[in-house]
Chain A
């Protein structure tokens, strides 16, 4: 434990109101789609109606004749450089050139004086296709007779991963018990409340893009690359963002198409997706087919694990190569074992591309492993919490794939979850139809390596104290997409400076005015952006105390500042206000400015794929849920969920618990309801909020969100992540509760009412057959 314990903090550790609460609650907050610019045009993208087809011709002449149509563009008008997450897998064009590869692939775009004209123009573009057979079944995508989706990727193999740590075969030979189970995940979509929007405009050679994005920097990087511009000539910024969950991490096509249209017309162009187009663009959760084999000793101690997975990547790589590595890498975190083998095949299909979604690759394997572990516990007659405690990772350990774990209170999480859920009183003693289940999870507090190859620091920050000392502005590239990072980082800045939260202002997520930061993904900002902010705040504090020392004629090391008051450590009567010292500083020395940056230490091993999953610190969590099953209909009623988190020092308890609630909401949706479904031609059947069922407020259980004491030396003030980790245990937790209630296992997601009904029916039929 560090010396800076909770009671020392004036600003962090308190549930201050969100810095943007008033704007959001009163409706004055302007989201990207609310922005209007003089002469602005509206743009839409024409997408493919076929899952797989050759483009024979595109005739835009009729569309161009429609009054109000200002530009119609295709691949001929746009850069043709391919893009994607990594050079080996740049496989996507701004507009399709020779082929379309899924229903929704980008073919052309229009810019018009209003939205209505856009639809008329899109309808007037004539595209001649030669429809090709489509690959829709990921399990057969690699068969010899399947059509080839990308020429560069034989047998539709997008990525193949084989990692081997220790000796799994030997571990299985030594094991008391070895079990294999297979589980199947579901295609889900992030479904942010705010649809994607981008408004692009040029001034000479400079391009400005307002975008609903999780990472202005990453967008800036890819836009500059596509258009051959220096990064300094591309400005990407955002206003308020209504949720991302991974779906707004990479450029969507709206930015690229908008930039092309804005350049041709010389006017600002606003591009946007509607709800159905969001589903078609996708980049949501991959469906994974997961076979797990685990060997344990007679006490249930895990000796070795083999994970053999296939994932449906859809038509492009998107961020999916990272997803593929994460799927296996994160399995080693929660439980200690030395031997691990991971085989993964990410295949192309003619379905919308999949990418990063909250928990990035890890939630489905976590569901599979937690279900698998309950099967093993049942076979060996060990209580599910007990087998987890026996295997739970301990602090200051290293995983077989070389992740160094500092703080880890998983055991304490499990014990507390057992306590507050009444597990001992309930397990095996609940009335018919009721069950209780447990699962765990762990997640990175920021990725150890950048999203693209670069030696830039991961985060940077700058604080400028106002000239009269009545306010200070934090400049950060960190991206508040609703999770509250602006609030948390202002709390951290005020704490480090000795200032108050109420006097903080923030300018964030603008590549031109704020220092570089990679953005909101991999649950990185509280730790990484926070580290840069703390450093900037401490630099302000040092300068402030030097000036105060001159004013008081005291040595600076005998002074301190806290919550806006400068005082002598051994004589608290001697005080000055932060404001008066700051003002004097400006008058005598110029602007009072502090800056900071953060680069993680060198992390991880040297094997292929070793960087994915590395992090300075890992969160841990245990969840217990109690469910009630309607035996006749299969309806699942989730009564209570207890979530106990080890997420280091908490900066804002209200926001933290809100993250747990939100993550649970998403986890619950994926567990029971959500699934993107397709017809036999690769068209989405439920690209709407009526038939793609997110849970409603009425479906939510009672949520009990609790914490355990924890402090991670890698994070500023000991912080770790919470935003994504809380999504991880939920699916397995519900599956295990259903398993406990009814003795049936649903081995594919979602755990829908009909699947539970069917499992119960089959069980009855088996029993009747004797």
Chain B
């Protein structure tokens, strides 16, 4: 269990970083927190011969509120930065809570938001809540930058639309919105250090008891984090009731396509989606952003 030899670069500007990635080509990988790349390299699952560390790019580290744009989370923000951010506590506590349910404290201190997204693991805990909150991400390459809705960022397990030979994910933007509540419920097999068996995030816009808008995103039950649009349609424009939420849970299960693996059977996961969707909706409707 040894890291193989590799060249190490720590560029001091984003431009330099993009140019390096471009020049190095497929033999390079970006290194942020290293909680995934280094582990995979030790296990021989990845064998880049060059690592481009982003650690000197201090501009990617902050979490800010920019009026008109929304909450901007730098790609190098760690999970514990999310957990402890006063800006998120004030506006989207649900994101802090979701981050707090990830992995364990050591990993939360090292792992970054950008790394979590680019890894594109179907069971990742951040994408569902960020998608439910309509997040977009910014990708910067040597030829310029582009904004991509997070909802269309993931293309399969460990696959996303980023160009690995030149693009760097720099930020996540949670736009200004009138959502009134959001939450993420993770179901793991113990209280710390467990990957999700299923996860459900929801965001709702309530007008009294009427659901004006709803976004539901499921984790760990589809090749990518997936919107449960059929379930959203069940809800929109209706006065909420326990029966309605149960109906949405049924519809959400129909949007899932889980696999059976070491953590749970497909049948179990479908049932979890049913229950978790109902519970998450009720929580977001009645408790706000939690």
Contact surface of A with B, Cβ cutoff 8 Å: 115-116, 119, 274, 632-633, 635, 673, 677, 685-686, 689-691, 693, 695-699, 752-754, 757-758, 761
Among residues of A, the one whose C-beta sits closest to the C-beta of B278 is A632
Partner of B1, one of A274, A633, A753, A757: A274
A753 touches B271 (CB 8 A): no
A691 to B262, CA, bound (A): 8
B268 touches A757 (CB 8 A): yes
Partner of A677, one of B262, B268, B275: B262
A693 to B192, CA, bound (A): 10
Among residues of A, the one whose C-beta sits closest to the C-beta of B191 is A698
User: Which residues of chain B come closer than 8 Å to A274, judged between CB atoms?
Assistant: 1
A752 to B263, CA, bound (A): 10
User: Which residues of chain B come closer than 8 Å to A686, judged between CB atoms?
Assistant: 262
Among residues of B, the one whose C-beta sits closest to the C-beta of A689 is B193
Partner of A633, one of B187, B193, B194: B187
A432 to B161, CA, bound (A): 48
B268 touches A696 (CB 8 A): no
A690 touches B190 (CB 8 A): no
A699 touches B262 (CB 8 A): no
A633 to B274, CA, bound (A): 10
Nearest chain B CB to A754's CB is how many angstroms away?
A: 5
A754 to B261, CA, bound (A): 12
* B156 contacts A by Cβ under 8 Å: no
A-B complex: 5 closest residue pairs judged by Cβ atoms:
A698-B191, A632-B275, A696-B192, A754-B268, A116-B2
User: Which residues of chain B come closer than 8 Å to A696, judged between CB atoms?
Assistant: 104, 190-193
B191 touches A693 (CB 8 A): no
B271 touches A632 (CB 8 A): yes
Partner of A673, one of B189, B192, B265, B276: B189
Nearest chain A CB to B218's CB is how many angstroms away?
A: 15
B192 touches A685 (CB 8 A): no
User: Which residues of chain A come closer than 8 Å to B265, judged between CB atoms?
Assistant: 754
**Number of contacts between A and B (CB, 8 Å)?**
50
Partner of B194, one of A115, A677, A693, A757: A693
Partner of A115, one of B2, B191, B193, B271: B2
* B264 contacts A by Cβ under 8 Å: yes
* B272 contacts A by Cβ under 8 Å: yes
A685 touches B191 (CB 8 A): no
User: Which residues of chain B come closer than 8 Å to A690, judged between CB atoms?
Assistant: 193, 195
User: Which residues of chain A come closer than 8 Å to B1, judged between CB atoms?
Assistant: 119, 274
User: Which residues of chain B come closer than 8 Å to A635, judged between CB atoms?
Assistant: 187
B2 touches A699 (CB 8 A): no
Among residues of B, the one whose C-beta sits closest to the C-beta of A117 is B2
A753 touches B275 (CB 8 A): no
A752 to B265, CA, bound (A): 12
User: Which residues of chain A come closer than 8 Å to B191, judged between CB atoms?
Assistant: 696, 698-699
A606 to B215, CA, bound (A): 73
Q: Kindly identify, within residues 248 to 290 of chain B, every residue whose CB is under 8 Å from any CB belonging to chain A.
A: 262-265, 268, 271-272, 274-276
Among residues of B, the one whose C-beta sits closest to the C-beta of A697 is B192
A689 to B192, CA, bound (A): 12
7 contacts between A and B (CB under 8 A): A632-B275, A685-B262, A690-B193, A693-B193, A698-B192, A699-B191, A752-B189
A695 touches B2 (CB 8 A): no
Nearest chain A CB to B231's CB is how many angstroms away?
A: 17
In the complex, besides A633-B275, A690-B195, 10 extra interface pairs with C-beta distance below 8 angstroms are A119-B2, A635-B187, A673-B190, A686-B262, A693-B190, A693-B193, A699-B192, A757-B268, A757-B271, A761-B271
Nearest chain B CB to A49's CB is how many angstroms away?
A: 14
- Given the interface contacts A632-B271, A632-B275, does A695 sit within 8 Å of B190 by beta carbon? yes
On chain B, the number of residues with a Cβ less than 8 Å from chain A's Cβ atoms is 21
A379 to B202, CA, bound (A): 46
User: Which residues of chain B come closer than 8 Å to A693, judged between CB atoms?
Assistant: 189-190, 193-194
A699 to B2, CA, bound (A): 32
Among residues of A, the one whose C-beta sits closest to the C-beta of B274 is A632
User: Which residues of chain B come closer than 8 Å to A754, judged between CB atoms?
Assistant: 264-265, 268
A757 to B268, CA, bound (A): 8
Which of the listed residues A677, A685, A697, A757 has the most CB atoms from chain B within 10 Å of its own CB? A757
User: Which residues of chain A come closer than 8 Å to B272, judged between CB atoms?
Assistant: 633
Q: Kindly identify, within residues 169 to 200 of chain B, every residue whose CB is under 8 Å from any CB belonging to chain A.
A: 187, 189-195
Nearest chain A CB to B128's CB is how many angstroms away?
A: 17
A757 to B275, CA, bound (A): 12
A699 touches B190 (CB 8 A): yes
User: Which residues of chain A come closer than 8 Å to B190, judged between CB atoms?
Assistant: 673, 693, 695-696, 698-699
User: Which residues of chain B come closer than 8 Å to A699, judged between CB atoms?
Assistant: 190-192
A167 to B238, CA, bound (A): 71
Nearest chain A CB to B195's CB is how many angstroms away?
A: 7
A632 to B192, CA, bound (A): 21
User: Which residues of chain A come closer than 8 Å to B264, judged between CB atoms?
Assistant: 754
User: Which residues of chain A come closer than 8 Å to B194, judged between CB atoms?
Assistant: 693
User: Which residues of chain B come closer than 8 Å to A753, judged between CB atoms?
Assistant: 189
Nearest chain A CB to B84's CB is how many angstroms away?
A: 19
Nearest chain B CB to A443's CB is how many angstroms away?
A: 27
User: Which residues of chain A come closer than 8 Å to B193, judged between CB atoms?
Assistant: 689-690, 693, 696
A351 to B191, CA, bound (A): 30
Among residues of A, the one whose C-beta sits closest to the C-beta of B261 is A685
Among residues of A, the one whose C-beta sits closest to the C-beta of B264 is A754
User: Which residues of chain A come closer than 8 Å to B195, judged between CB atoms?
Assistant: 690
Interface string of B224-264 (1 = CB under 8 A from A): 00000000000000000000000000000000000000111
A689 to B104, CA, bound (A): 12
Nearest chain A CB to B253's CB is how many angstroms away?
A: 12
Nearest chain B CB to A73's CB is how many angstroms away?
A: 22
A697 to B193, CA, bound (A): 11
A693 to B187, CA, bound (A): 15
A686 to B190, CA, bound (A): 15
Which of the listed residues A116, A274, A677 has the most CB atoms from chain B within 10 Å of its own CB? A116
User: Which residues of chain B come closer than 8 Å to A115, judged between CB atoms?
Assistant: 2
A695 to B189, CA, bound (A): 10
Nearest chain B CB to A729's CB is how many angstroms away?
A: 22
User: Which residues of chain B come closer than 8 Å to A752, judged between CB atoms?
Assistant: 189
User: Which residues of chain A come closer than 8 Å to B274, judged between CB atoms?
Assistant: 632
A10 to B90, CA, bound (A): 59
A699 to B191, CA, bound (A): 6
Nearest chain B CB to A294's CB is how many angstroms away?
A: 34
User: Which residues of chain A come closer than 8 Å to B104, judged between CB atoms?
Assistant: 696
Nearest chain A CB to B285's CB is how many angstroms away?
A: 19
A686 to B189, CA, bound (A): 14
User: Which residues of chain B come closer than 8 Å to A673, judged between CB atoms?
Assistant: 189-190
Among residues of B, the one whose C-beta sits closest to the C-beta of A693 is B190
User: Which residues of chain B come closer than 8 Å to A698, judged between CB atoms?
Assistant: 190-192
Among residues of A, the one whose C-beta sits closest to the C-beta of B103 is A690
Nearest chain B CB to A205's CB is how many angstroms away?
A: 36
A757 to B198, CA, bound (A): 14
User: Which residues of chain B come closer than 8 Å to A697, judged between CB atoms?
Assistant: 192
A757 to B192, CA, bound (A): 21
A753 to B268, CA, bound (A): 10
A211 to B265, CA, bound (A): 42
Among residues of B, the one whose C-beta sits closest to the C-beta of A690 is B193
A677 to B260, CA, bound (A): 14
Nearest chain B CB to A669's CB is how many angstroms away?
A: 9
Nearest chain A CB to B41's CB is how many angstroms away?
A: 13
A685 to B260, CA, bound (A): 14
A752 to B190, CA, bound (A): 11
Nearest chain A CB to B73's CB is how many angstroms away?
A: 26
A650 to B189, CA, bound (A): 37
Among residues of B, the one whose C-beta sits closest to the C-beta of A696 is B192
A632 to B246, CA, bound (A): 13
A400 to B160, CA, bound (A): 67
A31 to B194, CA, bound (A): 29
A691 to B264, CA, bound (A): 12
A758 to B68, CA, bound (A): 49
Q: Kindly identify, within residues 120 to 143 of chain B, every residue whose CB is under 8 Å from any CB belonging to chain A.
A: none
Nearest chain B CB to A631's CB is how many angstroms away?
A: 9
A697 to B191, CA, bound (A): 9
Which of the listed residues A633, A635, A689 has the most CB atoms from chain B within 10 Å of its own CB? A633
A483 to B270, CA, bound (A): 44
